[in-house]
Chain A
Amino acid sequence: MLAIGKFHSSAHRRYVIRTMAFMIPYVLVNMGAIFGAFDDIRTPVAAWALALVVSAPVVGQIWATLALMAESDEFVRALVARQFIVASGVAMALFSVWGFGESYAHAPHLPGWLIYPLFWAVFGVVSPFIRSTR
């Protein structure tokens, strides 16, 4: 998630509210899964429904980030866009390397949903180094 506290615009306040609205249910559903709340799900339809429910906050969070860019001034929009693009590229590259490691080097399998936390981890690492839109 984007750093909060540095910016105080209404767009950033909306972003924080939206992020909380999406991440709280995301954490609750995943905690429910960890503690076995969905262990009785058997049918493929119910399993896919659960997958979509867990994924929905991820989609929402990405929308919240894009909405922040749309609602911000040109500097913030360009800065977040640069950070988003670099983080996406690095995360995809890292995950691709691991994927080929699984295919050719017997690396342990990692679930695909890890690309999302990986993206935000990379975002957090690269953002302090991307402070210019030039």
Chain B
Amino acid sequence: MKNRLKLLRVERGWTQEQLGQALSVSRQAVNALETEKHDPSLDLAYRIAAIFERPIEEIFENPHVR
């Protein structure tokens, strides 16, 4: 799923490890999200949205909306 996760993370000067700790997931999970190798669960997407204080759809592109 296309997303702006890497951009938002880099904007804050965070490493993948740091973001992973904040989300309680591994660095590999953060990397997989950024490289679109893993679509997050709804729970993880909400956690990401809460950390960046943005709506989910500002972070993850809705593939069902044209």
Count class of interface residues, chain B: 10 to 19
Interface flag for A63 (CB, 8 Å):
no
Whether B26 pairs with A72 at a CB distance below 8 angstroms is: yes
Interface flag for A73 (CB, 8 Å):
yes
SS of B interface (majority): loop
A132 to B39, CA, bound (A): 9
Residues of B within 8 A of A7 (CB): 26, 28
Interface flag for A13 (CB, 8 Å):
no
Which 3 A/B pairs are nearest by Cβ-Cβ distance?
A: A75-B29, A73-B25, A132-B37
Apart from A132-B37, A134-B36: 18 A-B pairs, beta carbons within 8 A: A7-B26, A7-B28, A9-B26, A72-B26, A74-B29, A74-B40, A75-B25, A75-B26, A75-B29, A75-B32, A76-B28, A76-B29, A79-B32, A79-B38, A131-B37, A133-B37, A134-B37, A134-B38
